[in-house]
Chain A
Amino acid sequence: MERKKFLRSLMIGAFSAPIIIDACSKVEGTTDTATTSGTPGTGASGSASGCNLAPTETEGPFPTKVPASYVRPDITNGRTGYALSIKITIGNSNSNCAAISGAIVDIWHCDAEGNYSEYGGSGMQSTDYQSLHFLRGRQTTDANGLVTFTSIFPGWYSGRATHIHVHVYNASGTSLKVTQIAFPEVTGSAVLAVNGYAKGMTGYTYNAKDNVFSDDTAGIEVATVTGSTTAGFALTMNISVPA
């Protein structure tokens, strides 16, 4: 190579260096992508790896639409306690309490020890899916406005009288009422018969002192509860909501 030509080639090299560097970085980028894309990917929508090697696998499983795990009549999930059947009738307070059919009713309450189902401190959850949301349920009212659940008699925890939470939605899921059901405390009542399970009743908050029920002097929030610890208990309640 002549010296002049050699120098010229160096000049070209110098001028084109940024282009080469740029090209290199592009190549690197491409290599990265290729590396990632060669990996059967995460498939997460919005994942970092856009291009995935198509896995060759038998088709399936075939997903089908399923309701939330709340939808079940028996919400016991292996929690032990005295059997309690819960019958709630939903009426329309804007229409002489006429039964509302197709309303969605969520209920939840604590177990015999006074604990609710919820995430614990650990980030990991057991696969025992059915017991993850214990004592929580959802049913849709029938033509008579009635929903029925099978559960256990709730225990109690500090500061609260025995209660069941209720959230009533219309058929499209719009909230109509958030309320709670209180339990009778008269002599012979279920609350006294259950006697707080292993806890006893020392420190129990009765309805009159309960921060939710104390203003309910007419007893509108108090359900009818019959039965015994041997035969189980039956709760019936009418709840009127503006629909």
Chain B
Amino acid sequence: MATRIINLCYRKIIDANAAGIWEQLVFNDTYTEFLMQAQYYNQEKKYTSLAQLVLHVPDAERLHFLVSAACIEYLQQLNERIPDIYNILGNKFLNFKSFHFEIINSDITQRSAHQVAINFYSEPLIWHDSIGSYLLVSQKDAKQPELTDLVKLVPFLSINSLKIIP
């Protein structure tokens, strides 16, 4: 039987309504960093929103990357464990080494408009089977016997890549 190797992507959206302490820290610090970095691309103070900057100012797309520095130390606090996603037993179980940070919206005049996404990419998993609406997965490099997890694909959690090994 073919082996299916997948990795999952969890897109965590953080906005002004974020309730958790970690989320609030990320929200506040990425907004502060946006305010600082945006000034470089807005030296004539003509624009207020990220969308305007990206539309009118060359290289303003770099703001995603430049602002990401404000969340990196917070990512380290997660100890390579993807937040919010639990197996059927209620345990976090997905490990990540890769991520991608993006600013969805922001505005230098409106803090509440600030919204960011952190995409967490899980380490490779073997997708053995599907049981009901759950995926039966195990860590790709697991030793025998393979310990498995059951996880459901909920909104903002998707299969990011699939590799079939015959």
Are B72 and A46 in contact, with the CB atoms below 8 A?
A: no
Which chain A residues border B20 with CB–CB below 8 Å? 43, 63
- Assembled-state Cα–Cα distance A104/B37 (Å): 12
Are B65 and A56 in contact, with the CB atoms below 8 A?
A: no
Are A65 and B25 in contact, with the CB atoms below 8 A?
A: yes
Render A7-37 as a binary contact track against B, CB cut-off 8 A, 1 for contact: 0000000000000000000000000000110
30 contacts between A and B (CB under 8 A): A36-B154, A40-B88, A43-B12, A43-B20, A44-B11, A44-B14, A44-B84, A45-B17, A46-B13, A47-B13, A53-B90, A57-B91, A63-B20, A63-B74, A65-B29, A69-B69, A69-B70, A118-B62, A123-B100, A124-B98, A124-B100, A125-B99, A125-B101, A126-B98, A129-B73, A129-B75, A173-B36, A175-B43, A178-B39, A178-B40
- Assembled-state Cα–Cα distance A204/B80 (Å): 43
Q: Is A41 an interface residue (CB 8 A)?
A: yes
Q: Is B112 an interface residue (CB 8 A)?
A: no
Q: Is B68 an interface residue (CB 8 A)?
A: yes
Are B69 and A133 in contact, with the CB atoms below 8 A?
A: yes
Contact of A129 among B40, B76, B90 (CB under 8 A): B76
Are B14 and A127 in contact, with the CB atoms below 8 A?
A: no
Q: A40-B86, A44-B11, A66-B74 are contacts. A49–B154 as well, Cβ < 8 Å? A: yes
Which chain B residues border A46 with CB–CB below 8 Å? 13, 15, 17
Which chain B residues border A36 with CB–CB below 8 Å? 154-155
The interface residues of chain A, by DSSP majority, are classed as loop
Are B77 and A63 in contact, with the CB atoms below 8 A?
A: yes
Q: Which residue of A lies closest to B36 (CB)?
A: A173
Are A124 and B65 in contact, with the CB atoms below 8 A?
A: no
Are A68 and B90 in contact, with the CB atoms below 8 A?
A: no
Which chain A residues border B135 with CB–CB below 8 Å? none
Which chain A residues border B39 with CB–CB below 8 Å? 167, 169, 174-175, 178
- Assembled-state Cα–Cα distance A73/B20 (Å): 31
Q: Which residue of A lies closest to B83 (CB)?
A: A43
Q: Is B21 an interface residue (CB 8 A)?
A: yes
Q: Is A203 an interface residue (CB 8 A)?
A: no
Interface size on B, residues (CB 8 A): 60
Which chain B residues border A173 with CB–CB below 8 Å? 32, 35-36
Which chain A residues border B119 with CB–CB below 8 Å? 123
Q: Is A67 an interface residue (CB 8 A)?
A: yes
Contact of B73 among A41, A42, A67, A117 (CB under 8 A): A67
Beyond known contacts A45-B19, A178-B40: 8 more, CB 8 A cutoff = A44-B11, A45-B23, A48-B155, A56-B90, A68-B29, A129-B73, A133-B68, A169-B36
Q: Is B127 an interface residue (CB 8 A)?
A: no
- Assembled-state Cα–Cα distance A64/B78 (Å): 11
Q: Is A119 an interface residue (CB 8 A)?
A: yes
Contact of A63 among B22, B80, B84, B86 (CB under 8 A): B22
Q: Is A197 an interface residue (CB 8 A)?
A: no
Which chain B residues border A119 with CB–CB below 8 Å? 62, 64-65
Within 8 A of A (CB), among B71-125: 72-80, 83-88, 90-92, 96-101, 119, 121
Are B13 and A44 in contact, with the CB atoms below 8 A?
A: yes
